[in-house]
Amino acid sequence: MTMLTYALLTEPAYLEASQAGRSPSKGKVHLVVTNTGREVDWVTIEVTVPVGNGDGGLTPDIGTITPKGTYTHTHVNAQLLTPPATVPVTFQRVQGTNTFQATPPAGAKAFHPGDYMVLALEDINVAAASGLAVLMVRETRSTQQGYEVRFAAVPLMKAAATEVPAPRDFRPDKVMLDVGDLLTLSWDGSDDFDYKIVFPGGESAVQRGKRTWSPAADAIPRRATTYTLVATSRTTPRVEHFLTTTVQVRHPVLETLTATTGINTERVRGRNADDGWISFPKEGLNVRKGTGKTWGSVFADRADLNGVNTTWVQGRSADDGWITFPVEGLKVHRKDDNHLTHLVVGYATHDIVKTRIVRGVVDDEGWISFRKEGLNIRRGGGGTERGTLFAADTDLHG
């Protein structure tokens, strides 16, 4: 039987065996040493760690372990200390071995009843195989006859490696992008995955150790875009996880748009800020210029309409004549002034024609005027000399 009592705790509660292709599983071992009997003059306590990757080994790499030790006084003259007094203990690896040795603090060789000591082994890279690992303890105390040595075996279990938790919470920093906005995607996940981002038209690998990704400035989405995070384990067999997130764009740019049932929108405009635009009031359709709210122009080869309400109509050239529509009927004007001009037709049928004179198509041809008393026929050339009426037969009354 040992002079002291030994209990072992691990952090995490179950050490998990390492797995090929993943970051090493790490853990801590706390050996709690307690004196439940009489006072002991201790000299050393040595802890030997089983080295190897098999089921009986704790770690394949003894050099990564960091040892730490503390001694806690709980009583003085059989009186409980409140709070207890804790002092450091020298606890270090014996060079060239897999043994760690603790020695008493200066001037404190006595291990008093009720006191306890914690010997910690930190930063352990846990072996690859699950199973039972046993730490061997060798305690030495001084007696009147010399030194007395006793031994203890302290076991711990290594659990089988579990599957790496899947990544989660794949998210954009902005769900709605405005013109000029940048984009960053983030997620939570293990270092034991290789990550890449898949998007329409390509994919991009993520630098190892990073949990964020941003598209290049010239690749910021211009329409609603879905990104896929692909996480691939480095274990055998490989395991893949897929997460998606979608980013909306406030002013999307589309190559083509096909709507099978209709489009509901307040207005439509060209791709540039100064392009014209169309709005849709209850009464019909408004066409506006690119800046302001002034009326714009419609260009078409042909229009088939039930009716046209307009103030005036002009030819396609600025020098062409134009027509207005007063209450009295129709007026034909010269290009850019209000003078009446010519109406040229091949044939016209009217119920009534009201006019001051009628003349031939050439300026020096004769003309007819309409007096109160009747009809005057005049010669051409601008004079007032009476002209000649030619007819095959004339029936006159007077």
Written as six digits, the tokens of 116 are 């306890």
CB 214, CB 199: distance < 8 Å: no
Question: What DSSP string describes 9-49?
Answer: EEESSSEEPP-TTSPPPEEEEEEEEE--SS-EEEEEEEEEP
Q: Would you call the peptide bond into 83 cis, given omega within 30 degrees of 0 as the criterion?
A: yes
Q: Give per-residue burial for 304-328: e unless 16+ CB within 10 Å, then b.
A: eeeeeeeeeeeeeeeeebbeeeeee
pTM: 0.57
Q: Is residue 91 within 8 Å of 166, Cβ to Cβ? A: no
CA 353 to chain centre: 75
The β-bridge partners of 204 are 197
Instruction: Identify the CA nearest to 288 among candidates 304, 270, 308.
Output: 270
Question: Other C-beta atoms within 10 Å of 157: how many?
Answer: 11
Q: Which of 309, 312, 186, 164 is nearest to 247 (CA)?
A: 186
Rounded CA-CA distance 339/332 in Å is 8
DSSP calls for 302-321: ----S----SEEE-SSTTS-
CB 48 within 8 A of CB 57: no
Cα→Cα distances 194→41, 173, 229, 232, 394, Å? 55, 22, 10, 5, 111
Q: Please list the pLDDT of the chain residue by residue as tens digits (398 residues).
A: 889 999 999 999 989 999 988 889 999 999 999 998 888 999 999 999 999 999 999 999 999 999 999 999 887 766 777 888 899 999 999 999 999 999 998 767 889 898 999 999 999 999 999 999 999 999 999 888 889 999 999 999 999 988 889 999 999 999 999 988 999 999 999 999 999 999 999 999 999 999 999 999 889 999 999 999 999 998 888 999 999 999 999 988 888 888 889 888 888 888 787 888 898 888 888 888 887 778 888 888 888 888 888 888 888 887 888 888 888 888 888 876 666 777 777 788 888 888 888 888 787 888 888 888 888 888 887 677 888 888 888 777 76
